[in-house]
Amino acid sequence: MGQLYILLALAIGLLLPIQVGINTELAQRISSPITASLFSFAVGTIGLMVCLFIFRDPWPDLNTLNTIPKWLWLGGFIGAFAVFGSIISGPQIGLLSLVAFVLAGQLLASLVLDHYGWLGFPVRELSLGRISGSVLLLTAVVLIHKY
């Protein structure tokens, strides 16, 4: 089962640069990165609504929604920022540099989240291997952007 999750993560990684390209092209054709980001999220919302219908996932009641800590709603803003930011920065620095810097940011945040077990992730303490691998990836980011 673990291999399925690895393949899913790889598929996400393969699709994200394509998403950036599609959203950037959309933004150029409609002359607005904000509107392109909105359309991207609207299409995604429709897709998720179809999934809810197909899989018959339960809809939370109003009481449940009211008791959720407000900071948990930030995920949508982060997603919108990621889409909008990639549309703006991708054409300026190139797709490979964009992906490399996004990976570097994800890497740094993941090291902290894993080490402390924040946001519900299990604690995975820093080790020499994890730090060494991270330094190698960050070195790759610098080389990718420089050359």
pLDDT of residue 1: 72
- What is the number of H-type helices and E-type strands within the chain? 6, 0
Q: Name the burial class of residue 90, with classes exposed (0-12), middle (13-18) and buried (19+) by CB atoms within 10 angstroms of its CB.
A: buried
pLDDT of residue 68: 95
Q: What residue segments make up the domains of the chain, in order of their start? A: 1-93, 94-147
Q: What is the pLDDT of residues 1-43, one digit of tens each?
A: 789 999 999 999 999 999 999 999 999 999 999 999 999 999 9
Question: What mean pLDDT is predicted for residues 124-140?
Answer: 93
Q: What is the pLDDT of residues 72-126, one digit of tens each?
A: 999 999 999 999 999 999 999 999 999 999 999 999 999 999 999 999 999 999 9
